[in-house]
Amino acid sequence: MRWLVIVIILLFLLFLDYNWGNKVSKAAARKKIGVERQSDITLFTTGETLFDDYFAELERAKHHIHILFYIVRDDEIGKRFFSLLEQKVNEGVEVRVLVDWVGSFGLPSSLRQKSGQFAFANRPTLPFFFYKLNERNHRKITVIDGKIGYLGGFNIGKEYIGQDPKFGHWRDYHLKITGEGVADLQRQFAEDWKEATGQTFGDDERYFPPLQKGAVKHRFVPTDGAYLEEEFIQLIKHAKREIIIGTPYFIPSKKIMDALFEAIKRGVQLTIIAPIQADHPFVKEASFPYFRQLLHAGAHIYQFYNGFYHTKVIVIDDDICDIGTANFDRRSLFINYEMNCYIYDKPFIQHVKQTIARDIDTSTWLTAEYFRKQSWLHRFKEAVATMLSPLL
């Protein structure tokens, strides 16, 4: 009985820590309204092609390399990554690497020391330790010489280049940006670097060189655990014909579900692509209650089977395409630090839609019959997942 009382008290303290920390964090959060830019943008959908390009650009760096990832693994590709950074440091290039404390937990100091200046983002501290343990920097930003930027869903690890047999082929979307939008990535990195280290690196022309306009109109949308729900709802309300959502985790808020139902009622076709396998416990089951409701309302839902689907993409008609770091889940909506890119260029959006169509070709169509055949064990896991969904 005494142990039960202790457990109840501990759970209450964790609940109090999380909710109080959440209120304090939300009160301090500020809405960031990105400015429309024009850049040249390239879409990468496989880790093999992305990292061939990425490492080549790192090798060409002359002045500085600024990198923020959620996950950097201590594996073959992680060692190659840090070895290249060490080479650039020895060449006199300024290198700053920022990784999330939880996402890259256990990264050995022998690797970290190779990267010039290294820091952990969102290291949990008192007060509100439990809340801050969940508040993670999920952004993936790279800026090279202030002229080349990268943003998207890939991290550094063997699974992201299809070398983990558990997942096989890894499908993700990542952007390479050249042009005036790179300065916005640099500013966000500078803000995150200062928050983690207390240091600034200046705003002179070495870090913010003159940049030319590119062909693709776009806008970056950074969020710090707040305002992303509002952004997604505005996207959904904009839709007149179709909404396409690609995400590894589909755990929306009630307000977003209401917006999706309203869109379907006004004749908008909703299509969702999610993975058939999961990379974390319960995240797949947590999506099932939402899928049931949306199927009943007339949505089309597909489960990608050609490996793991880690893509974060939203397409609204032929007008707006969102690619970035945010998942379609509660953690990205209300806890994580994210960075998305809204693209307004019709040819680029058509290219993305064609890419999504190929993803659907290697997916199965989810039906209501699938849920009717579920075992009691699957239904139990779904119930547990529903309770845990705010932290998934």
Residue-wise pLDDT tens digits, 80-102: 999 999 999 999 999 999 999 99
Chain segment 310-362, per-residue pLDDT in tens? 999 999 999 999 999 999 999 999 999 999 999 999 999 999 999 999 999 99
What distance in Å separates the CA atoms of residue 151 and residue 71, rounded to the nearest whole number? 14
Among 114, 132, 174, 310, which one carries the catalytic annotation? Answer: 310
Per-residue pLDDT, averaged over 21-27, amounts to: 86
Nearest C-alpha neighbor of 75 from the set 172, 154, 161, 168: 161
Among 138, 217, 218, 381, which one carries the catalytic annotation? Answer: 138
Whether 145 is catalytic is yes
Given this model, what pLDDT does residue 387 score? 73
Does residue 180 register a pLDDT over 90? yes
pLDDT-based confidence at 186, cuts 50/70/90?
A: very high
**Is this model's pTM higher than 0.85 or not?**
yes
Question: How large a percentage of the chain has pLDDT more than 70?
Answer: 96
Per-residue pLDDT, averaged over 206-211, amounts to: 97
Whether 310 is catalytic is yes
Where do the DSSP E strands lie in the chain?
37-44, 64-69, 94-100, 117-121, 141-144, 148-152, 170-171, 174-179, 216-224, 242-246, 269-275, 300-304, 308-309, 313-316, 320-324, 337-343, 363-365
Given this model, what pLDDT does residue 189 score? 98
Among 145, 184, 224, 345, which one carries the catalytic annotation? Answer: 145
Given this model, what pLDDT does residue 15 score? 81
Among 40, 74, 164, 317, which one carries the catalytic annotation? Answer: 317
The mean pLDDT of the chain is: 93
Question: How large a percentage of the chain has pLDDT more than 90?
Answer: 78
Residue type for 82, please?
Answer: F
Whether 138 is catalytic is yes
Whether 26 is catalytic is no
What distance in Å separates the CA atoms of residue 364 and residue 188, rounded to the nearest whole number? 38
Element (H, E) at 246: strand 242-246
Among 218, 284, 312, 381, which one carries the catalytic annotation? Answer: 312
Among 140, 147, 174, 381, which one carries the catalytic annotation? Answer: 140
Given this model, what pLDDT does residue 392 score? 62
Residue type for 355, please?
Answer: T
Does residue 385 register a pLDDT over 70? no
